[in-house]
Amino acid sequence: MYLVTIITPIYNGEKYLMRYSEQVNAIGYKNLQIIVVNDGSKDKTSEIVKKIC
């Protein structure tokens, strides 16, 4: 099984992150790497990403 990497830049996306996480998990691919690039968000984006990890 190949490693698939999804790179997601995000800025002030706290209200979208939980849904994004659910959608990525729904893919069901086991060998998946997600890289989230926080571009200086002023909201709780970093905290939410840490919880999701």
Q: 12: buried, middle or exposed (CB in 10 Å: 19+, 13-18, 0-12)?
A: middle
Structure pTM? 0.77
Distance (Å) of CA 12 to CA 2, 5, 22, 32, 49: 31, 22, 18, 24, 12
Domain that holds residue 40: 4-52
* Residue in this structure with the two tokens 């959608």, named with its chain if needed: 23
- pLDDT of 12-39, one tens digit each? 999 999 999 999 999 999 999 999 999 9
Task: Tell me the residue length of the chain.
Answer: 53
Sorting pLDDT into bands at 50, 70 and 90, what band is 1?
Answer: confident
Q: How many domains does the chain have?
A: 1
Q: Rounded to whole angstroms, how far apart are CA atoms 44 and 29?
A: 28
